[in-house]
């Protein structure tokens, strides 16, 4: 096995402080809060993604996404375990079905890299939470009975952690459900371990056209020559349509130039920028949150100044499970003591804390 083998990358992930210190030098803050942060949310990074980190830059955008910092140990009053209420709308284990026409299916709780701002850190990195084969069958049976369902979104963790044969089986079963219009896959492996996009995986994808993939690039430094090679080959061989969602992250990409560089780079390798997310109100996210006013100002500098196809929609997923609202001055309903009051697509009101 070698560097370009995704299984080697997974098996050689750095997952503890001693091994990490053998690779890079940590700041006092990073070393001090590692153990406590690890208790709440594990640490892991692939050799590939760690190699993207600039050791000489304490503000390296890759470093800030993967190394615990002191803000992660703080739980602010508005921060909760499950900000999008995904566990509330769970008819069978591993499936969130909130909207009639689409459902999210968490088929793996393992990721190549654990992002410190993860919305699902309540369960991601805990393999025992991952649905087993028996639970897959229950979920598939549920999808077969839900005739209003048009889309299933494979998510996680990272669904591409599963083997090609497991993915082949699941995609094949889903494709046989007549009321499903299409399948979507949410994955960060193209960012953290692009060698996962093997020719054999592309052959699986090509059997089930159309498949829509949503990746999660946050910064232009995450797009390497390897990313370009594997993503472009997957698009051509797997006949897959690829979109990207980014999270607006303080000190990482809260800058119009960085975002426009990212979005142009994505378009150049065949990925359409889809969403720019306001960071969710998950516990320990204070180091990452960009105030909404600043986010709107940044967004104003993107739309109009740059090609329309490079522009994602700037959205807030409402805490409590109200769905996404577009963030623009027109959508800010009212400033309150705690933050802002929004109306969702049903006219329901939600208060958002930052
Ligand atoms: S890859 Fe996605 S699910 Fe996994 S830790 Fe990062 S944000 Fe969370």
Looking at residue 340, what is its pLDDT? Answer: 83
Work out the average pLDDT over 216-226.
Answer: 98
Alpha-carbon Rg for the chain, nearest whole angstrom, is: 20
In this predicted model, what pLDDT tens digit does every residue of 155-180 receive, in sequence order? 999 999 999 999 999 999 999 999 99
Instruction: Specify the residue with its C-alpha closest to ligand 1, atom 5.
Output: 114
| 124 touches ligand 1 (CB under 6 Å) | yes
| Distance in Å, CA 115 to ligand 1 centroid | 5
Task: State the sign of the Cα–Cα–Cα–Cα dihedral 131, 136, 140, 141.
Answer: negative
Work out the average pLDDT over 200-229.
Answer: 98
Looking at residue 332, what is its pLDDT? Answer: 53
In this predicted model, what pLDDT tens digit does every residue of 20-51 receive, in sequence order? 999 999 999 999 999 999 999 999 999 999 99
Comparing 191 with 353, which gets the higher pLDDT? 191
| 115 touches ligand 1 (CB under 6 Å) | yes
Helices (DSSP H) in the chain: which residue ranges?
6-11, 17-21, 28-40, 47-51, 61-66, 133-145, 164-175, 189-192, 199-207, 225-238, 256-268, 292-300
| Closest to 281 in 3D by CA, of 351, 185, 337 | 351
- Give yes or no for a contact between 265 and 225, defined as CB atoms under 8 angstroms apart: no
| 62 touches ligand 1 (CB under 6 Å) | no
Residues 251 and 297: their CA atoms lie apart, in Å, by: 16
Measured from the CA of 191, which atom of ligand 1 is nearest?
1
Measured from the CA of 155, which atom of ligand 1 is nearest?
3
Q: How many CB atoms lie within 10 A of CB 298?
A: 21
Looking at residue 333, what is its pLDDT? Answer: 63
| 120 touches ligand 1 (CB under 6 Å) | yes
Strands 102-106 and 271-277 come out as: unpaired
Looking at residue 345, what is its pLDDT? Answer: 55
Instruction: Specify the residue with its C-alpha closest to ligand 1, atom 1.
Output: 188
Of all residues in the chain, the percent with pLDDT exceeding 90 is 87
| 64 touches ligand 1 (CB under 6 Å) | no
Looking at residue 331, what is its pLDDT? Answer: 53
In this predicted model, what pLDDT tens digit does every residue of 240-264 receive, in sequence order? 999 999 999 999 999 999 999 999 9
| Distance in Å, CA 34 to ligand 1 centroid | 18
| Closest to 229 in 3D by CA, of 47, 4, 52, 11 | 4
Work out the average pLDDT over 122-127.
Answer: 87
In this predicted model, what pLDDT tens digit does every residue of 88-99 receive, in sequence order? 999 999 999 999
| Distance in Å, CA 58 to ligand 1 centroid | 22
In this predicted model, what pLDDT tens digit does every residue of 288-307 receive, in sequence order? 999 999 999 999 899 888 99
Question: Over 80: is that where the pLDDT of 285 sits?
Answer: yes
- Give yes or no for a contact between 217 and 244, defined as CB atoms under 8 angstroms apart: yes
Looking at residue 330, what is its pLDDT? Answer: 56
Looking at residue 329, what is its pLDDT? Answer: 59
| 6 touches ligand 1 (CB under 6 Å) | no
- In sequence order, the 6+-apart residues with CB closer than 8 A to the CB of 23 are 14, 50
Question: Over 80: is that where the pLDDT of 128 sits?
Answer: no
Question: Over 80: is that where the pLDDT of 222 sits?
Answer: yes
Cα 287 off chain centre by:
18
Work out the average pLDDT over 213-223.
Answer: 98
Work out the average pLDDT over 315-331.
Answer: 85
Active site residues: 98-99, 102, 111, 115, 118, 120, 280, 317, 324
Q: Counting every residue, how long is the chain?
A: 354
Instruction: Specify the residue with its C-alpha closest to ligand 1, atom 3.
Output: 157
Looking at residue 2, what is its pLDDT? Answer: 92
Best residue for ligand 1 mutational test, from 62, 67, 109, 157 (most atoms within 8 Å of Cβ):
157
Looking at residue 260, what is its pLDDT? Answer: 98
Residues 279 and 282: their CA atoms lie apart, in Å, by: 8
Q: Crossing angle for the helix pair 199-207 and 164-175, nearest 10 degrees?
A: 10
Which CATH architecture best describes the domain 6-352?
Alpha-Beta Barrel (3.20)
- Give yes or no for a contact between 195 and 164, defined as CB atoms under 8 angstroms apart: no
Looking at residue 347, what is its pLDDT? Answer: 72
Show me where the domains of the chain are located. Answer: 6-352
Question: Over 60: is that where the pLDDT of 269 sits?
Answer: yes
Measured from the CA of 121, which atom of ligand 1 is nearest?
8
| Closest to 307 in 3D by CA, of 266, 250, 253, 276 | 266
Mean pLDDT of the chain: 94
Using pLDDT thresholds of 50, 70 and 90, give the confidence band for residue 354: low
């Amino acid at each position: 096995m070698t560097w370009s083998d995704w299984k080697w990358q997974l098996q050689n992930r750095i997952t503890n402080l001693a091994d990490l210190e053998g690779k890079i030098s940590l700041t006092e803050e990073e070393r001090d809060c590692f153990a406590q942060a690890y208790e709440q949310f594990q640490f892991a990074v692939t050799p590939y993604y760690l190699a993207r980190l600039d050791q000489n830059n304490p503000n390296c955008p890759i470093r800030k996404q993967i190394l615990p910092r002191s803000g992660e140990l703080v739980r602010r009053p508005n921060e909760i375990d499950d900000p999008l209420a995904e566990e509330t709308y769970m008819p069978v284990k591993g499936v969130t079905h909130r909207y009639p026409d689409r459902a999210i299916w968490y088929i793996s709780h393992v990721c190549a890299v654990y992002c410190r701002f993860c919305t699902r850190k309540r369960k991601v990195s805990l393999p025992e939470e991952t649905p087993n084969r028996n639970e897959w069958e229950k979920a598939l049976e549920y999808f077969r009975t839900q005739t209003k369902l048009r889309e299933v979104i494979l998510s996680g963790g990272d669904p591409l952690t599963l083997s090609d044969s497991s993915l082949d089986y699941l995609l094949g079963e889903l494709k046989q459900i007549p009321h499903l219009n299409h399948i979507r896959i949410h994955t960060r492996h193209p960012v953290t371990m692009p060698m996962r996009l093997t020719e054999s995986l592309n052959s699986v994808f090509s059997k089930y056209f159309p498949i829509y993939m949503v990746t999660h690039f946050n910064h232009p430094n995450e797009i390497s020559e390897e990313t370009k090679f594997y993503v472009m080959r997957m698009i051509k061989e797997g006949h897959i349509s690829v979109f990207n969602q980014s999270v607006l992250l303080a000190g990482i990409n809260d800058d119009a130039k960085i975002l426009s560089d990212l979005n142009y780079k994505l378009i150049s390798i065949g990925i359409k920028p889809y969403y720019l997310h306001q960071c969710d109100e998950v516990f320990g996210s204070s180091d990452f949150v960009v105030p909404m006013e600043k986010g709107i100002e940044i967004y104003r500098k993107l739309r109009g100044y740059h090609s329309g196809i490079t522009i994602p929609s700037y959205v807030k997923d409402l805490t409590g499970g109200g769905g996404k609202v577009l963030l623009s001055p027109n959508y800010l309903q009212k400033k309150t003591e705690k933050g802002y009051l929004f109306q969702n697509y049903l006219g329901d009101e939600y208060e958002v804390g930052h």
